[in-house]
Structure 1
Amino acid sequence: MTIHTVESVQSTGGNVRVHRPGDAADLASFRQLRRVRRERLLDDLAQGRTARRYFPVLSVLAPVMTQAEGEITYPGDPMCLYTALSVAVRRAVDDAGPLAEATHYTDFAPEWTRLPSKEYRLAAGADGYRPYESDPNTDQTVFDPRVWDDAARVRWIRLLREVRPRVVLISAVSPAHRYALEMASLVKSELPEAFVILGGRHADETITCTPDGQRLLLKPSSPLSVIQEGRAPRVVDAVVTGEAHHAVDLLMRAVALAVDLDRQWVDRDRVLGLLQGLLAEEGPGPGQALAVLASDDGFDAVPLRGRTLDLAELPSPYEAFAIRSHFPIFTAPDTGAVLRTAHFMVSNACPYRCNFCSESVQVAGTLKRFKRDPISTAVERVCEYVHYGAESLFFDDSVFWSGRYRDIAEFCDALAELRAADGERIPDRFRARLGDPDDLERLRRLQWGAQLTVDTLVALHSPEQSAEILRKMKAAGCTYIYMGIESMSTQVMDHIHKNLRRDETRPWKAKVREAARLVKEQGLELGTSVLFGLDGETRASIDETIHEVGRLIDDGLIDLASPNILTYHPATPVTTQHGMQDRLDYHSPRIDNRKPYIYFEEAFPGVVSVLLSEDDIWHIHNETGIHWGTVRNDSSPTAAVP
């Protein structure tokens, strides 16, 4: 196979090679090895020499912050982990059972053998800890510490010693990357032969492939760069990036086939060849992804390029995992109890191209949506989540249904009709997802929220159209709208892609007020996000934004205001424009995580806007507390909402 050295890596040792998919020789070798292994294991089982069919596996959600008094604590991105695992876990569960009948895992298999029961789901608490137990369900194979502190470190080490996982999969956003590396280091310290796979948004943003699939493009803060250059320890055996749903499944199958049948640990030297053999046999599966494997002298990368991915074809992220979020914006009318809230997405990126946003389509590459029967598929998934115990939903799409009013109207009409139907008139497709009368009652009481933009409401549509769409959303159970204000200063918003159809007679702050009024006139709660440190920001623009948002609060037009500080993500254009692409440190073991940075989500010294001084950040913290009062998003972990 052809090997290409990656030009973009400034390596102090070793190199990175990009491999083409496997050929006929790889396929023949792969099939022979698989046949021999399966025959041996079947014989061992028949002779009673071993009863071991499954190997223990742990999946980890790396938290973003360490706990400190008064700080915003952001647990990471559970949906990124759950979504990446969805296909692999579904296929492993479907394949569980007698080895003679297995078709997906033909000998050893990960210990993903059964989904959580409904009783387990309804009893699942809001904390991230779950006991692995002797026969874990798929949810119990996840370690989710929420914060990375001494207590979490002790629990992680104890879990490693109890479970002795053969494979550990870690998902990390950029601010969690340093903690992911520390968790991986503890894996290697306790279990040197465990196979560690790293993925998540930080890897996605920092490791990509050229369009021709010949070279890797690495950001300086990528896991491969910092390991190659000796800035981080070599504690990762593989990295998966991109649309990882099918890629994780392929890699896990290759790793399972590489488990030595005598030692029952992964033989790392075999994984690349086995992955190539699987690709030669069946192809990469849908989506665009990349698998990178560590070797003694560098890294071996395998691009996985299949057909276009349809999000509607994927298992739901919660099929294998319990719903644990509780957003205080959703409360029971009779008791005031905070409701169990499921995350929901019908697209993978934001159609806007704001230079500071890591969710933008220019970072994601393409905008993927539910393609096959999108409306009915989305309603069916609502029913599925209700069956899992969801009492509320938050649509995490950067813009609800990508801001397309026709789709919003059709979805809301269909959901409203279903909520109003009696049990006998529910279509069979949806009835199959609603297992008992309690599910139907939860559906009727379901609250949900979604994100819209100012321009969606007041620039791209008439006030009458927006009012009608908001009425339809409310009739379908929507109680909460979340909207990014970003800034109330014209000199800042002139740089923002969200601010479309600019009109000197209608400044941005007037459009914000009009959008807020439309939402509140329909009796919906309104949450807003404000972002300080964008291009054009000065102390005067900071004060203008704080003052104008305060006026909206005083006028009863905002129910929740979240102040945020611009933090640099590796792939966003503003990172390069501000000269930060070579300066981001998401790998050093310790950071100076101190006040006032800890009052803002994902903010810490070295990654916040160069346009803000530390005195500016103190000023923002103090002034928003004074002028926004109790409407300002609380800094306690349980109160953080989208």
Structure 2
Amino acid sequence: MLENVHVHRFPQTTVSAGFKELLSARRERLAADLAHGRIPDRYFPVLSVLAPVMTQPEGEITYPGDPMCLYAALSVAAHNAVHDAGPLELARHYNDMAPRWTRFPGVDYRLSVGHDGYRPYVEAPNTDQTVFDPRVWDEQARARWIRLLRETRPRVVLISSVSPAHRYALEIAELAKREAPGVYVILGGRHVDETIGCAPGQDTLVLAPSSTLTVMDDGRVPRVVDALVAGEAYHSLDLLVRAVALSIDLDTRWVAPERVRRHLEELLRVHGAAPGRSLVILVTGDAVHAYPQEGRRLDLAALPSPYEAFAIRSRFPIFVDGATGEIQRTAHVMVSNACPYQCNFCSESAKLAGGLKRFGRTASAIERVCEYVGYGAEALFFDDSIFWSGTFRDIAEFCAKLGEIRRTPANELDRGLLRFLRTEADVTRLRDLQWGAQLTVDVLVGPRSPEETGAVLDGMREAGCTYVYIGLESMSARVMDKIHKNLRRVEGRDWATKAREATSLVKSHGLRVGTSVLFGLDGETRASIDETIAGVSELIDDGLIDLASPNILTYHPATPITRLHGMVDKLDYHSPWIDNREPYIYFEEAFPGVVSVALTEDDLWYIHDETGKRWGATRNDSAPVSPEQAPEQAPGRTLDRDTTFDGTSAGPRPAPDRTR
């Protein structure tokens, strides 16, 4: 397969006569089938899946957020499909057959959904009900997936996967192929983003040893994936789904895979390169065809919001209704796609994400906030690696505008915002809105004075912010000196001192503090582990940390530390027999074979036991949370970012990371 790779680039041209004839003939044939009642409608069933990273709930951090990587990736395709739904004669985006994304969830549905990720199968689903989000991959989830496949008989399955979930994504695809022969499987996500690429202007496909194509080619896994998408593929995925729709045989109503390539190429000739930088790959027989897309620069604010087509299900225990004690419905928000820093362990770096892109105007972010409140959000967590990329001007402007809107009487609100805030309940949720964001030590105690930083923190609090999350990583100077995070160094002021200053500053301005601690970085020893556990314990004892989340370094395929530790060729993200046992299950994304070489299994037990003893109830774990305990807990870390199909990345944060 990999001996027969072709990279294609298509300049925009006019529609070929043959393609025009094909479109006309298919449309006439479908119109006749509909008119004579041979088929009930023009839609084919489609399912989208977020592959989970967990195999058992016991011992895991169990506050997963919404699968924003999947939601963002599908945003353009779902938006266009819903707006094109209706009578065939009025359809423009789809020529004939179209995915069964025909309506967005209504308000009543949005306010009634649970937070366990489960969606019952219905005959006429809204877009949210076409998602399978198992959260844990076990026998129960496997049985539910098989049942859903048999009931739905999907023509297309789209799977989003980070690297630790890749082995389960492959099993999900294999089950789809077995239960629905003829189904067309599309895979995207951070694993694809990090392991498959094509350099700008070059016609060579670059594959990591752990890439899906590599392990399918050498026989380590069956060939169960028909297409892959990587990068900023919002529009590319939409184009691929249109090509797949044109490839559905009008007699059998199943996809003819050999036609997808032809129709994708025709659409590329008509429309030119899709916006953003992305890559579409088709696996056809014994050949691989790659289509690099280098279109116009994306405007993140102009994309449909991820929650337009999907319900808000997250409930982060850090956000609690003060009157009722209920954990609040929490939406994820992102106003940037990557991190401006280049920590060697993190895949959220702008360098890996193809550059930093942000909302250009704070007004656009205000609209997004109001939209989510209209969808039922009672709280928000800004999942950006650094809130507004650490730009104080934008933070201050955004908070000032949000605070003003929260204080404005409903009858005086801007007409544009009232299209989201339609009811008194919506306005009340906006007034009571709580939110949290992520900042870094260097942003908090960097070149600005404590007074200047304090003014920004006050502005955040007055706009509804109650929680700030900070990546401490390690309290050992010898470890922090190696990871490119402690950038603004001053003689006699080490990282531990700066960490204390940062947490103290945030607490002094009335905000709660959550922290991420990462064990296994380069240079880690038992002595540095002890130094970190003791250092964080002191901050907890001094009332400077409300939540501490212990994490273990696990390798992401494209990060510098993976190369530094010689693990690029050794990562196994595909074998189904990996023994995910104690103590690995106590840490997010930790599996034998992908955990830092600086740590032994005995070290993992030691970290688990000692943080439990020293950090007590402040440690983020999977213990049940009662309402009175909830304020001491934190948002579940969201898995490495972005997309699966859209190309953002991710690093350590509050709890099981499912957002990028």
Band the TM-score falls in, shorter-chain normalisation: over 0.9
Name the structure 1 match of 2:260: 271
SS of 1:225's partner is: helix
Distance 2:582 2:133 in 1: 25
Amino acid at match of 2:469: Y
Cα 1:64/1:579, change in 2 over 3 Å:
same
Q: How many Å separate the matches in 1 of 2:3 and 2:133?
A: 34
2:108 matched to which residue of 1? 119
Equivalent residue for 1:557, pick from 544, 567, 586 = 544
Please report how far the alpha carbon of residue 637 of structure 1 lies from its aligned counterpart in structure 2 after TM superposition. 8.4
Q: Once the 2 structures are TM-superposed, how far is the Cα of residue 184 of structure 1 from its aligned partner? A: 0.3
Q: Is the 8 A contact 2:553 2:595 kept in 1?
A: yes
Amino acid at match of 1:218: L
Partner of 1:143: 132
Gaps in structure 1 of 5+ consecutive residues:
1-10
Of the structure 1 ranges 411-420 and 590-599, higher mean CA displacement relative to structure 2 is found in 590-599
**Contact 1:527–1:561 (CA<8 Å) still a contact in 2?**
yes
Give, in whole Å, the separation in 1 of the partners of 2:7 and 2:617. 54
CA deviation after TM superposition for structure 1 residue 76, in Å:
8.3
Aligned residue for 1:534?
Answer: 521
TM-score (norm 2): 0.93
Alignment of 1:411-560 (within 5 A): 411-560=398-547
Pairwise CA distance, 1:77: 6.8
Q: From the superposition, tell whether residues 637 and 158 of structure 1 become closer, same or farther in structure 2 (CA, over 3 Å).
A: farther
Query: What pairs up with 1:175-214 in 2 under 5 angstroms?
Result: 175-214=164-203
2:221 match: secondary structure: coil
**Paired position in structure 2 for 1:238:** 227
In structure 2, relative to structure 1, the CA distance for the partners of 1:179 and 1:76 (3 Å cut) is farther
How far apart are residue 230 of structure 1 and its match? 0.8
Query: Relative to 1, partners in 2 of residues 1:637 and 1:195: Cα closer, same or farther, differing over 3 Å?
Result: farther
Deviation of 1:82 (Å): 0.4
Q: Deviations over 1:87-138 (max 9, x none)?
A: 0000000000000110001100000000000000000100111123111000
Shift of 1:636: 4.4
Instruction: Indicate which of 231, 240, 248 corresponds to 1:251.
Output: 240
Cα shift readout 1:224-282 (whole Å, capped 9, x = no counterpart): 11111111110001001111110110000000000000000000000011001011111
Percent identity, aligned pairs only?
Answer: 66
Q: Is residue 62–residue 76 contact of structure 1 (8 Å, CA) maintained in 2? A: no
Q: Secondary structure at the match of 1:593?
A: coil
Deviates more, 1:206-215 or 1:188-197: 206-215
Q: Does 1:79 align with 2:68?
A: yes
Asked if the contact 1:67–1:148 (Cα under 8 Å) also holds between the matched residues in 2, the reply is yes
| C-alpha distance in structure 2 between counterparts of 1:224 and 1:275, whole Å | 20
Give the distance between the partners of 2:75 and 2:21, measured in 1 at CA. Answer: 29
- After superposition, give the CA deviation of every residue in 1:537-565 in whole Å (9 maximum; x if it has no partner): 11111101100110000000000000111
- Partner in structure 2 of residue 40 of structure 1: 29
Residue 342 of structure 1 contacts residue 385 of structure 1 at CA under 8 Å; is this kept in 2? Answer: yes
Q: Which has the higher contact order (CA 8 A, sep 6+)?
A: 2
> 2:76–2:235: 8 Å Cα contact kept in structure 1?
yes
Whole-Å separation in 2 of the counterparts to 1:157 and 1:75: 23
The 2-side partners of 1:273 and 1:73 are apart by 45
Distance across 2 between alignment mates of 1:74 and 1:58 = 24
Partner residue of 2:342 out of 353, 356, 359? 353
In structure 2, which of residues 78, 88, 93 is the aligned counterpart of residue 89 of structure 1?
78
- My pick for the range that moved more, 499-508 or 155-164, is 499-508
Kept in 1, the 8 Å contact 2:11–2:272? The answer is no
Structure 2 match to 1:396: 383
1:50 deviation in Å? 2.8
Please say if residues 373 and 421 of structure 2, whose CA atoms lie closer than 8 Å, have aligned partners that are also in contact. Answer: yes
Give the counterpart letter for 1:52 in structure 2: D
CA contact (8 A) 1:30 1:277 kept: yes
Contact 1:458 1:511 in 2 (8 A): yes
What CA RMSD, in Å, does the superposition of the two structures yield over aligned residues? 1.5
Number of residue pairs the alignment of both structures matches = 629
| Amino acid in the other structure paired with 1:219 | A
Report the alpha carbon displacement of residue 63 of structure 1 after superposing the two structures with TM: 0.5
SS at match of 2:265: helix
In the aligned structure 2, how far is the partner of 1:73 from the partner of 1:317? 23
Cα distance, 1:284 vs. partner? 2.7
Of residues 612, 616, 620 in structure 2, which corresponds to 1:629?
616
Q: Distance in 2 between matches of 1:391 and 1:214?
A: 48
The offset of 1:283, in angstroms, is 1.7
- Cα deviation digits, residues 462-512 of structure 1 (max 9, x gap): 111110000000000000000000111110111122211212311111110
Instruction: Indicate the residue corresponding to 2:553 in structure 1.
Output: 566
Aligned to 2:400, the other structure's residue is in SS state helix
TM-superposed CA distance for 1:459, in Å, is 1.4
Please state how far the C-alpha of 1:39 moved relative to its aligned partner: 1.4
Counterpart secondary structure, 1:318:
helix
2:397 paired residue among 395, 406, 410: 410
Helix, strand or coil: the match of 1:529? strand
Larger deviation: 314-323 or 455-464? Answer: 455-464
Paired AA for residue 131 in structure 1: P
Which of 374, 379, 389 aligns to 1:387? It is 374
C-alpha contact 2:197 2:205 (8 A) present in aligned 1: yes
